Structures are given as C-alpha cells and as structure tokens.
Amino acid sequence: MTSAVFVDRDGVLVEDKGYVHKLEDFRMIPNAAEGLRLLGGYKLFIITNQAGLGKGIFTMGDFNKFSSHLLKELGKHSIKIEKMYFCPHKPEDNCECRKPKTKFLKDAEMEFGINLKKSFVIGDRKSDFEMGRSMGCRTIHVLTGDGVKHKNEVTPDYFAKDLVDAAQWIIENDKK
C-alpha cells in the first residue's frame, strides 16, 4: 500500500471567492503548483465540497470546465492528480460524501491501494482535518484561503504558510 496526499481545492489550490466556478475567476494560490510538484513521489488527490452545484449556483458543466482548467494548469508543472473527488451536495442534504465524512478517503484507499495511516490531508477548514484525522491521516492546515480565519478552530499536525511549506514538512516527516 502506498501513501498519498489529499488536498482541498478552494483556498488551497485556487483562490476562494465563494462558489468559484468561472474561468475568468481562476487564480492559483501562490506556490500551490510548486508545493504539489515537490510532492511528486506521492499519489495526489483533490477532495472538494462543491455546495454551489446542489444550490444551483453553477452547473456540472461549469464545474467540469473549471476542474479541467485546473488540472491542465497543474499538468503544465508536471503534476499528476490521480483523481478529483467532489461532493455536489448542500450541507443540509446530509449525504455520505461531504467533508468531514470520510467516503472519498475510503474510496481512494480501495481504488488506489492507499495506506491512509501513512497519508496526509492538506486543507484550510475544520472539515478537512476532521475528515483526515478520523481516518488516521496526518493533517496540515495551510494559512491560505480561509486558513487564517479558521486557525483557532483546529489542531492539525502542522500549520503551513502555503503548499511549499506543507510539502517540505511532509517530506521531512513522512518516515516518522
């Protein structure tokens, strides 16, 4: 079984202006691509809650266009995302896939042979860390996006200023 890094999308990889879905609003977070590039020895996944779909704020076509653009931009940096898992439901739908629920971590474990106890979750919100911690992953809170605003709500394994800092911590602490 292999280790992996699970990364939130909005506020970690791309600027989060609230229900971000338009290509003209696409902005990578500084150092996001460089941080993921440093993690090239890991299987990389994106797990994202996308309530804007369930609320009718944007369509699946909008989401797919935005996601394709993100993956294309990451590909320019030789970054391979194994899979993007997304929850299209509103919080009140009480679905099985919305973070902090662990469906997508379990799916990746089964589909890709991931050892979750040797894996990492990077996010900027409490739900990211609750999801990761409940499955035994080590958690990293990046202070990008809503990370600063939610800093006092969480106790991750590490606070990182950005994805480069997070990647360096993972590389240094992976064997511990």
**What pLDDT score does 148 carry?**
62
Q: What is the CATH number of the domain that holds 54?
A: 3.40.50.1000
Q: Tell the burial category of 28 from Cβ atoms under 10 Å away from its Cβ (0-12, 13-18, 19+).
A: middle
CA–CA separation, 55 vs 28, rounded Å? 24
Question: 10 Å Cβ neighbour count for 117?
Answer: 11
Q: Tell the burial category of 15 from Cβ atoms under 10 Å away from its Cβ (0-12, 13-18, 19+).
A: middle
Q: Is 8 a catalytic residue?
A: yes
Catalytic residue, from 8, 16, 124, 146: name it.
8
Structure tokens that stand for 100 in this block: 């902090």
Q: Is 10 a catalytic residue?
A: yes
Catalytic residue, from 10, 128, 146, 162: name it.
10
| pLDDT at position 174 over 70 | yes
pLDDT tens digits, 136-163: 999 999 998 765 665 666 689 999 999 9
Is the Cβ–Cβ distance between 158 and 169 less than 8 Å?
Answer: yes
pLDDT tens digits, 14-68: 999 889 999 999 999 999 999 999 999 999 999 999 999 999 999 999 999 999 9
CA–CA separation, 57 vs 55, rounded Å? 6
What's the domain count of the chain? 1
CA–CA separation, 23 vs 18, rounded Å? 14
- Which range of residues forms the domain containing residue 50? 4-173
